[in-house]
Structure 1
Amino acid sequence: MLAPVMARARRRAVRAGDAEIDSGHLLHALLESDEQVLGLAAPQPTQATRLMGYLAQRSIGFGRDWQQGEGESADEGAGIPRQRLALQPGLSDAAEAAVGRARVAALVRDAGEADPLDLLAELASDPGSRAAKMLKGAGADPSEVAVRARQR
């Protein structure tokens, strides 16, 4: 169930010329892929507006605060142009860990595979991830997002 999310996140990273798919790419892909995610991630209208605004800015290159973080060097965040990558990007450490934890959570609840809510919960539960920082910047408490996603 995460294959479409992963494909969207990969396309975002490739379009941006990013070396890795980070948790921010995954969060953005989740919001595009599953209508429940926005309501759980940002239940208040102002939170939803801020979150979608951050993601839109990041998509078009304005969110420079999000340029440096998971999997990116300080030089890249300092305005040195990035080259478009010919290879498909892999997952950042934080993104890979969240996907792994989502798969474990699915097994614990006797599901065949992880779903978008499993991944949302795990992205939000890592306070150092870009996704958690984006949620916090939108006024949402990432730990509360994780609890809501796990409660289904």
Structure 2
Amino acid sequence: MQSRTPSTQFAGAEAEDQLSEQLAAMVNTARRRAARDGDRQIDTAHLLHSLLESDREVWDLLDGGAGGAGAVEGGGGATATGGGGAGPADPESPPSSSVSKLLGYLVQRSIGYGLRWQNTVEDSGAVPAIAEQPGGVAGWSPAVTAAMDAAASRMRARGAESASGADLFAGLLADEDCRAVEVLRRAGIDLDAVAGRLREAERQDREDHERDRALSGGGDGHIPGRR
């Protein structure tokens, strides 16, 4: 999907106009969930929930490309699914036990662990209202803004024109103290293995991008992987 504007930094009053349609839909879903839970702001756990519901590529990143059959724990191998949204081999496959467990944990937010987050700001320290912060986005926690910026950086690194769900997922993982990572840890997700799969997917995307440029005459003629 194409970006609505060429901007690659999600900040300021027009931040949501800078999102791809895919990410904008995820943010809208997260906003509705936050409102239903009585939260003033979208936080990274809301975004993680939206990702898991709408982007099956993230399932592969969690399960090592198992397509609904694998387990996260012990999955140290890097199985790339690509950053652009290739998705699992079987788009109709049910979620794996690990993804199901994670979704079930996220659903319990409003009646369990998430109660302590109500009426608080997701950040490493006390901060004023988001709209009062330089570069802040009203309705987004500081951690969400940082994750969106990290997603834009990963998008640029792999040569894409719009940020994917995998880019946002990587942005969430970049902040070890955010609520999304806390949820992943509590659900027993092997974060090191997931990070390895994301790095491999990004590397493959960069190589594919450079190969396409070389074949189209837009590069230096060198195709990665060839001498």
TM-score (structure 2 length as normaliser): 0.54
Secondary structure of 1:67 counterpart: helix
Q: Does residue 1:142 correspond to 2:191, yes or no?
A: yes
What CA distance in whole angstroms lies between the structure 1 residues aligned with 2:97 and 2:56?
A: 17
Unaligned 5+ runs, structure 1: 74-88
What corresponds to 2:111 in structure 1? 62
Q: Does residue 1:19 correspond to 2:19, yes or no?
A: no
What CA distance in whole angstroms lies between the structure 1 residues aligned with 2:179 and 2:158?
A: 26
Alpha-carbon distance, 1:49 to partner? 3.1
- Size of the alignment, in residue pairs? 134
Q: Does residue 1:3 correspond to 2:24, yes or no?
A: yes
Ranked by relative contact order (alpha carbons within 8 Å, sequence separation 6 or more), the top structure is: 1
| Structure-2 change in CA distance of 1:71 and 1:36 (3 Å) | farther
Q: Does residue 1:122 correspond to 2:171, yes or no?
A: yes
Letter in 2 for 1:52: L
Could you tell me the percent identity over the aligned residues? 40
Alpha-carbon distance, 1:144 to partner? 2.8
Alpha-carbon distance, 1:102 to partner? 0.3
Alpha-carbon distance, 1:68 to partner? 2.9
- 1:35-54 alignment to 2 at 5 Å? 35-42=56-63, 44=71, 45-54=96-105
The equivalent position to 1:105 in structure 2, one of 147, 150, 154, is: 154
On the 8 A contact 2:45/2:180 being kept in 1, the answer is yes
Alpha-carbon distance, 1:70 to partner? 8.9
What CA distance in whole angstroms lies between the structure 2 residues aligned with 1:55 and 1:15?
A: 14
CA distances 1:126-152 after superposition (whole Å, capped 9, x unpaired): 110110011111111234323323433
Alpha-carbon distance, 1:108 to partner? 1.4
What CA distance in whole angstroms lies between the structure 2 residues aligned with 1:121 and 1:147?
A: 11
CA distances 1:113-133 after superposition (whole Å, capped 9, x unpaired): 211000111112211011001
On the 8 A contact 2:30/2:47 being kept in 1, the answer is yes
Alpha-carbon distance, 1:33 to partner? 1.0
Greater percentage in helix = 1
Letter in 2 for 1:66: G
What RMSD, in angstroms, separates the aligned Cα atoms of the two structures? Answer: 2.1
On the 8 A contact 1:12/1:25 being kept in 2, the answer is yes
| Structure-2 change in CA distance of 1:150 and 1:90 (3 Å) | farther
Q: Pick which of 4-13 and 42-51 moved more.
A: 42-51
On the 8 A contact 1:70/1:94 being kept in 2, the answer is no
